[in-house]
Amino acid sequence: MSNSYSSGNSTASYSSPTTAGNTSLLGISVAVGVIAIVALGAIFSGSLSFVWKLLLALAVVAAAIFTWIQASAALKQVEALQAELKRAQFEQQLTQTYKTLLENYQQLLKDLLPTWQRQTELARHQLESSITELVGRFSEIHQRLQAAVASSSTTASSMKGDTGLGGVIQFANAELGQITQTLRAAMEQRDDLLTEISGLSKITVELSGMSAEVAGIASQTNLLALNAAIEAARAGEYGRGFAVVADEVRTLSTRSGETGARIGKRIEQVNSALQTTLDRTTEYAAQDSNRLSKSEGSIAQVLEQFQHSSESILQSAHVLEQESAAVQSSVEEVLVNLQFQDRVSQILSHVTDDMEKLVGAVADQETRLRHGESVTLIDIQEWLRAIQKTYTTLEQVDVHHGSHHSKTPSNSEITFF
Amino acid sequence: MSKVILVVDDSASVRQVVGIALRGAGYTVVEANDGKDALTKLDGQKINLVISDVNMPNMDGISFLKEMKQKANYKFTPVIMLTTEGAEEKKREGQAAGAKAWIVKPFRPEQMLQAVSMLI
């Protein structure tokens, strides 16, 4: 459907039926007037009979009445025409005002629409660049979190099991326990050795006694040798040889006594040294046992602390992993939501495209008006149908039909063909 | 050697999101701004799958898909349409042109990756 209207400043010019009627009535009135004047002339000429004069006089009166009626009607028509003229003048003024207003609107649209278009395009561009930047940053955060979660997960899993920190602690516990057991075994062996040394000490006592016995035997031998020498002296010449033997025996017994005394002394020294060693070793053994017990306690404490620390680390790693996963999930949500830019960009594109279309239509109409050509009115329904065809999202269609909601689909929808 | 995926979208942010998700999953990504740009990217390399927007300047996604299917070496290459268009009519148009899947934006990267893994 298309409507046309005349352009330019031509005003409406038409001949109304009332005006045509007035013209014919004016002609009749003039004719009646002429007839009345002729009748009055005939009356006053005196050549006519009374009857004719009366008839003419009646005709003149009728003409006068008719003229008066016509004059009254003409007066009313003049008044009506004057009112119509005033209305026509008002309409002309109104048309002029509308024309000025239309020209103003056209100029406004011509100047304003490209500005709106540029501003919208600027907003679209800035939105796109900012969102792209944001997406980049969030993607980087997402990647880093992914790496952190993976690393934390690897660390946590490496801390578990036989090869993890717990396994190392268990291994250390077993190894250190074995070492302390070995040390304890060594200490027990040393205690055995001490018992042996203690036994040796008893032997030295026996040796000391034996040494005393040797000294006694030497003394008795010396006494026997002395007696033998006396007996040899009594025997005289026959006992001379025996006297030599007795002397030698006495010498030997003296030496035996001396050796026995030295042995006894040495045994005493050995016994003293053994006792000192035994005492010191016993003291050291007590100290060692004490140290070993302390060491075992320290090892157990250190391992327990290690165990506790590893459990804390594992727990922290687990919490960190969970938190990182939660943040990662939030970042993923942000990345999904940032896709609104694509939708907004498309909506703004449709608006700017339509603005451009309107700018073109207005410019075209202006050109036609300037050249005095007929202008086709814009079909608003057709325009709205055309813009609806450009919509890509369902919410655009809803908003087009007057809905005020601004929700966007939150769940992605996949269709496989 | 990793599979190569061509991502066609006029929105840089969408290309970025798709690219990051795909690269994270071990795919090699080639990007194009519109259908015309995408056609030039098809030559000289083997593309294993295409993810394309529908509404784009210069050449839209459906036209690109039709042109691509004319090429002998891309006749059977799977194509996923990734678009704001949710109308059934458009989906049918995409299916007729040879698309294998239709994802409506905004999309979840993991769902897109699932669709990709199902097609290659």
In one-letter notation, the amino acid at residue A60 is V
Cross-chain Cβ contact B11/A342 below 8 Å: yes
Give the pLDDT score at A333: 83
Q: Which two tokens stand for residue A80?
A: 């009506």
Residue A415: strand, helix, or coil: strand
Q: Is B81 in contact with B101 (CB distance < 8 Å)?
A: yes
Q: How far is B12 from chain A (nearest CA, A)?
A: 6
Instruction: Looking at the complex, report in whole angstroms how far the Cα of residue B64 sits from the nearest Cα belonging to chain A.
Output: 18
Mean pLDDT of A394-408: 77
Average pLDDT over residues A382-389: 91
Q: Rounded to the nearest 5°, which phi and psi values hold at B18?
A: -65, -45
Of B20, B84, B85, the CB nearest to A139: B20
Q: Which helix (H) or strand (E) holds A5?
A: strand A4-5
What's the pLDDT tens digit per position in A121-135? Answer: 898 888 888 888 888
In this structure, are residues B20 and A146 in contact, taking their beta carbons and an 8 Å threshold? no
pLDDT at A42 over 80: no
pLDDT score, position A11: 36
Q: What is the 3-state secondary structure (H, E, C) of chain B?
A: CCCEEEEECCCHHHHHHHHHHHHHCCCEEEEECCHHHHHHHHCCCCCCEEEECCCCCCCCHHHHHHHHHHCHHHCCCCEEEEECCCCHHHHHHHHHHCCCEEEECCCCHHHHHHHHHHHC
Q: Is the pLDDT of residue A155 over 80?
A: no
- Contact predicate A327/A138, CB 8 Å: no
The chain-wide mean pLDDT, for chain A, equals 83
pLDDT tens across the length of chain B (120 residues): 799 999 999 988 889 889 988 998 999 999 999 999 999 999 888 999 999 999 898 999 999 999 999 999 999 999 999 998 888 889 999 999 999 999 998 888 888 999 999 998
Find, in chain B, the residue whose alpha carbon is nearest to that of A390.
B55
Mutation target among B7, B11, B13 for the A interface, most CBs of A within 10 A? B13
Which of A27, A39, A17, A19 is closest to A67 using CA atoms?
A27
Mutate to test the interface with B, among A124, A336, A410, A417 (most CBs of B within 10 A): A417
Instruction: Please state whether beta strands B79-83 and A375-376 pair in parallel, antiparallel, or not at all (unpaired).
Output: unpaired
Residue of A nearest to B99 (CA): A417
Chain A and chain B share a number of CB contacts under 8 A equal to 99
Q: Which chain A residue's Cα is nearest to B93?
A: A417
The b-or-e profile of A109-132 (16+ CB within 10 A means b, else e) is beeebeeebeeeeeebeebbeebb
Chain A residues whose CB is inside 8 A of the B17 CB are: 135, 139, 335, 338-339
CA atoms within 13 A on the CB side of B98: 21
According to DSSP, residue A287 is labeled H
The predicted-structure confidence for A335-359, as pLDDT tens digits, reads as follows: 888 888 888 888 888 888 999 999 8
Torsions phi, psi for A345 (to 5 deg):
-60, -45
Q: Which of B84, B87, B103 shows the shortest C-beta gap to A343?
A: B84
